[in-house]
């Protein structure tokens, strides 16, 4: 598949801004989300690999950001995308407060298997979500690969009473997912693969191994909208387009991907702007009636000033950008 030619590093740096967005609840071990955004001919785009990711992995995220900023998105087949609410690994008593941040979402993804917590904490949180959503709501859980097969089987049994839509990345390894899928087949609870796609040398291996029922697809870490769309086409499995706690700019990349997929059977994990107390634009890309529109946010100078990162963090991100750009130059010859 063709890729867009690399713009010059100077062209990227010319508009680059580093932002820091506070969260309404601790999520993925952080209380603020940092990102570097810059503007291309197609509009604003985002480079935001998590800070612990090495440059080799982060460079693919940069390729995704460049793809979105310099290459037109594929033709859309829908102008709105249904999204789920995302529930961090909070205490059960906090569930109503978090859900109140989402408007009209019929599906909730609940984070489970948080370090330092127990299965009982997970059960209490999922129960609180199910009670809040009622019998018609859809509840899915995400373990981020934290369980081994036995732990995952035990957890799925404990959570099955809440009518799970699916369990996302219960185990880290593909062979573990395949074994778990066999063990819980009689429960009719699908397994979704996330890290086994976006962090894999071969993102299609999990599909070929029959280790998952559906794929969670994130545009930026897979090299952009076009590359991610091709992975979905080749995998032949249903896809859920999701985000990596992106700003509204990054979320618009996910919406562009979701809008271009021929089939979209599941609500997408693109509603995470609701977890921020402030975003990179004055009108964040948050769910209205459970939907996100196909649109591209345009931040202003005052928007950037409101969420600007500290000078030392700005330099950290610019140095990272330079290293990842150099890595992309090498890989593209």
Active site residues: 111, 218
> Annotation-wise, does 122 bind a ligand?
no
For residue 67, say whether it is annotated as part of any ligand binding site: no
Two structure tokens written together for 158:
């404990």
Convert 23-46 to b/e letters by CB count within 10 Å (16 or more is b): beeebeeeeebbbbbbbbebebbb
Please list, residue by residue across 189-215, b when 16 or more beta carbons sit within 10 angstroms of its beta carbon and e when fewer do. Answer: bbbbbbbbbbeeeebbebbeeebbbbb
Distance CA 269, CA 275 (A): 12
Q: Are 19 and 308 in contact (CB under 8 A)?
A: yes
Residues 6+ apart with CB under 8 A from 332: 3, 6
3-state secondary structure 264-310: CCCCEECCHHHHECCCCCCCCCCCECCEEECCCCCCCHHHHHHHECC
Place of tokens 């995302």: 86
Tell me if 279 is assigned to a ligand binding site: no
Both structure tokens of 102: 């989402």
Q: Sign of the CA dihedral 147, 151, 154, 155?
A: negative
Residue 257 near residue 77, CB atoms below 8 Å: no
Specify burial of residue 64 (Cβ count, 10 A radius: 0-12, 13-18, 19+).
buried
Q: Pinpoint the alpha helices (H) of 160-237.
A: 174-183, 195-198, 205-208, 225-235
User: In this structure, are residues 63 and 328 in contact, taking their beta carbons and an 8 Å threshold?
Assistant: yes
DSSP 79: S
**Phi/psi-derived region of residue 194, left when phi > 0, alpha when psi is between -120 and 50, beta in every other case:** alpha
Which residues are annotated binding-site positions for Mg(2+)?
A: 142, 168, 194
Residue ranges for the known binding site are: 142, 168, 194
């Amino acid at each position: 598949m063709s890729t867009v030619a690399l713009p010059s590093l100077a062209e990227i740096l010319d508009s680059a801004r580093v932002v820091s967005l506070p969260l309404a609840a601790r999520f993925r071990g952080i209380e603020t989300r940092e990102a570097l955004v810059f503007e291309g001919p197609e509009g604003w785009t985002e480079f935001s690999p998590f800070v612990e990711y090495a440059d080799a992995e982060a460079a693919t995220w940069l390729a995704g950001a460049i793809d979105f900023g310099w290459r037109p998105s594929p033709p859309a087949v829908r102008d709105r995308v249904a999204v789920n609410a995302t529930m961090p690994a909070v205490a059960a008593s906090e569930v109503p407060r978090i859900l109140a941040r989402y408007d009209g979402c019929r599906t909730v993804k609940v984070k489970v298997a948080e370090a330092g917590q127990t299965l009982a904490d997970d059960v209490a949180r999922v129960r609180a979500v199910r009670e809040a959503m009622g019998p018609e709501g859809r509840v899915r859980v995400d373990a981020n690969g934290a369980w081994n097969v036995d732990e995952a089987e035990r957890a799925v049994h404990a959570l099955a009473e809440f009518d799970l839509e699916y369990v996302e990345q219960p185990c880290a390894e593909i062979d573990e997912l395949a074994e778990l899928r066999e063990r819980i087949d009689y429960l009719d609870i699908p397994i979704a693969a996330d890290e086994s796609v976006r962090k894999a040398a071969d993102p299609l291996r999990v599909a070929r191994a029959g280790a998952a029922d559906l794929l969670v697809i994130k545009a930026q870490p897979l090299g952009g909208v076009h590359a991610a769309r091709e992975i979905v086409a080749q995998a032949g499995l249903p896809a859920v387009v999701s985000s990596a706690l992106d700003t509204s700019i990054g979320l618009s990349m996910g919406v562009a991907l979701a809008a271009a997929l021929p089939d979209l059977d599941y609500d997408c994990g693109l509603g995470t702007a609701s977890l921020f107390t402030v975003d990179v634009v004055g009108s964040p890309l948050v769910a209205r009636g459970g939907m996100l529109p196909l649109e591209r946010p345009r931040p202003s100078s005052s928007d950037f000033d409101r969420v600007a990162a500290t000078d030392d963090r700005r330099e950290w991100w610019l140095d990272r950008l330079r290293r990842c750009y150099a890595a992309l130059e090498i890989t593209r010859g």
